[in-house]
Structure 1
Amino acid sequence: MNSQNFAGKTALVTGSSIGIGRAAAISLAKRGASVVVNYRSQPEKAAEVVETIEKSGGKAIAVQGDVSDLAAVQNLVEQAVAKFGSLDVAVSNAAYSDRQRYFEADLEGFRRTIDVTMWGAFHLLHAATQQMLEQGNGGAITLVSSPHAFIPAPKAMAYNMSKAAIDHMAKTAAIEVAEFGIRVNICQPGWTDTPGERKFASEETLQSSGAKIPLGRLGTPEEMGEAIAYLCDPENSYMTGATLLVDGGISLPWWGNRGSAAPG
């Protein structure tokens, strides 16, 4: 990938103070994009991402905003344009998840998962598209989904529902805005070694479970950031409505896992 393919372009990445969003913001900045680093509740982490980008010669600002609020997302877009002059790339990465069986779930957490993960993606898609249409130069939007979109992982119904909705959302949007030169694609990261995973599992569990994935480990945020940048890259201008699965083989049939025999 050309290191300056995003020169002169502005990218907005939601939920980019940590994890996959952080890696995506840095990957885009390394390729020349000016980046809006969005965070909800960790300003110090967002400031660290901005500092990392600036130390590498890039440009970035941090902007607070809860993506479940459409007005807050519209403000993110406005801040991007006010600071850097345009919005050319948008990455919906922010997500939330509680893990409980649906019939025992705290419905406040259940709704919060959908509000952030599904509606947050729609809010960015909506606001970014409107700005790109106004500019008239096309653009690239990537929605970060998950194998949860098609694997019914237990204790994650709200998250599963949200990611499945994101996939249809992106594909429908891709059809509706193709004539305007706006590309909408999907990235499906598999099990990735991020701070958020510590909410559900210990380090020991993550390592032992990662060893059972066909490729023998969890993915890294940097690998997912590279995949997101790939989908947004102008060189890949014939890709829209596409799904890029980056999961180390975790979604392969169970007999594909290490140590398992094929049936039959």
Structure 2
Amino acid sequence: MSAESSDSIPSTAPTRSLQGKRALISGASRGIGRGIALEMAQAGASVTINYHSNPEEAEGVVQECEALGVSAFALGADISDSDQAQTLVDTASDRMGGLDIIVSNAAYSDRHLMLESDLSEFRRTIDVSMWGAFYLVRAGAQKLVDAGNGGNIVVISSPHAHMPMPGAMAYNMAKAANDQMARTAAVELASQRIRVNIIHPGWIDTPGERKFFQEETLRAEGAKLPWGRLGQIREIGRGAVFLCDPKSEYITGSTLTIDGGIQLPWREMYRVEEARRETNAT
């Protein structure tokens, strides 16, 4: 399972459901953000690819999106800095002639048990994954309100908003905050016809996972999941396109889970298999 195997599921025939829309996606030079950018471009949206430290990869995503027949731009910014997040939104809007879709995807995580945490890494996780999401959503929402044409905000959160993963307290905290931020924003922005929704990806095959796991581990553990594999980045992208599709206009404040069943009580599957064997034996 390579870092790019996330592209192995072919995209469906484009419906161009986002034709003419303009999207800003944070943390889109690789991983889930890249998958969202490609699927939105496939659906007809112009895209701004935000990156922090991978300009070459961001330009690569721009080229992939342009090959799908849309305009694309790369903009560097550290969204944990409120001024940079504001400048990112302003510049993206100026470049594309406005914004219709904001996707808060950028995140950072470092894993240590609470009692062993390096507080600088702990704070960095909170700064990017919680404050950065807020800065982007707030600046993006203001831009959409000012335009007066409605719009969509999608927050990429995590099942760890409610499933505590040991060794990732800061990330768990940040994602729980993301969920409440998005739901509160959905209430506050409904009268402006701005829809705010959440995506909970499961275990997705991204380059970032290789910060924590060896390739063999990802292959072996992915095969144990209910769907028998890790998720792929463009599957998350298709979920984001669905939420932003004008035909989905009655969906706001909702959480779309795309996890291959990882939040199900899947360890109970082994008991089901045992029961089947016992039944067959009799």
Identify the TM-score tier after normalising by the shorter chain.
over 0.9
* 8 A contact 2:14–2:42 mirrored in 1: no
Secondary structure of the residue aligned to 1:119 is helix
Report the counterpart of residue 63 of structure 1 in structure 2: 75
Compute the displacement of 1:9 (Å): 1.5
SS of match in other structure, 1:238: coil
- Structure 1 segment 145-224 matched on structure 2, within 5 A: 145-224=157-236
The aligned counterpart of 2:110 is: 98
> Structure 2 counterpart of 1:168, which letter?
Q
Which residue number corresponds to residue 129 of structure 1?
141
CA RMSD after TM alignment? 1.6
Deviation at 1:261, TM superposition (A): 4.7
Structure 2 counterpart of 1:26, from 38, 41, 44: 38
Partner Cα distance (1:47, 1:54) in 2: 10
Instruction: Report SS of the residue matched to 2:256.
Output: strand
Task: Say yes or no: does 1:38 pair with 2:50.
Answer: yes
Cα deviation for residue 30 of structure 1 reads 1.2
**Paired amino acid for 2:54:** Q
Give the structure 2 partner of residue 109 of structure 1: 121
Distance 1:200 1:100 in 2: 11
* 2:256 is the alignment partner of 1:244: yes
* Change over 3 Å in CA distance of 1:175–1:261 after alignment to 2: same
Partner SS, residue 250 of structure 1: coil
Tell me the SS of whatever aligns to 1:103. Answer: helix
Paired residues in the alignment total 263
The structure that has the greater radius of gyration is: 2
**Is 1:233 aligned with 2:245?**
yes
- Displacement of 1:162 in angstroms is 0.6
2:85 corresponding residue in structure 1: 73
CA distance in 1, matches of 2:91, 2:250: 29
Q: What's the counterpart of residue 9 of structure 1?
A: 21
The CA distance in 1 between the partners of 2:15 and 2:83, in whole Å, is: 34
Shift of 1:254: 4.6
Cα displacement (A) at 1:263: 11
Amino acid at match of 1:207: R
Contact 1:40 1:65 (C-alpha < 8 Å) held by counterparts:
yes
| Structure 1 SS opposite 2:143 | helix
Report the CA distance between 1:177 and its aligned residue. Answer: 0.6
Cα displacement string for residues 88-142 of structure 1 (whole angstroms, at most 9, x for unaligned residues): 0000000000000011000000010011001111111100110001000010000
Unaligned runs of 5+ in 1: none
- TM-score normalised per structure 1: 0.96
State the shift of 1:78 in Å.
1.1
TM-score by structure 2 length?
A: 0.90
Separation of aligned partners in 1, 2:45 and 2:271: 44
Q: Distance in 2 between matches of 1:71 and 1:263?
A: 57
Name the aligned partner's letter for residue 165 of structure 2: A
Q: Check the 8 A contact 1:35/1:60 in 2, yes or no.
A: yes
User: Structure 1 260/97 Cα, relative in aligned 2: closer, same or farther at 3 Å?
Assistant: farther
Question: 1:37 Cα deviation (Å)?
Answer: 0.2
Q: Which runs of 4+ in 1 moved over 4 A?
A: 260-264
Percent of pairs with identical residues: 53
- Per the TM alignment, residue 228 of structure 1 is displaced from its structure 2 partner at its CA by 1.3
Structure 2 stretches lacking a partner, 5+ long = 1-12, 276-282
Change (3 A) 1:260 1:192: farther
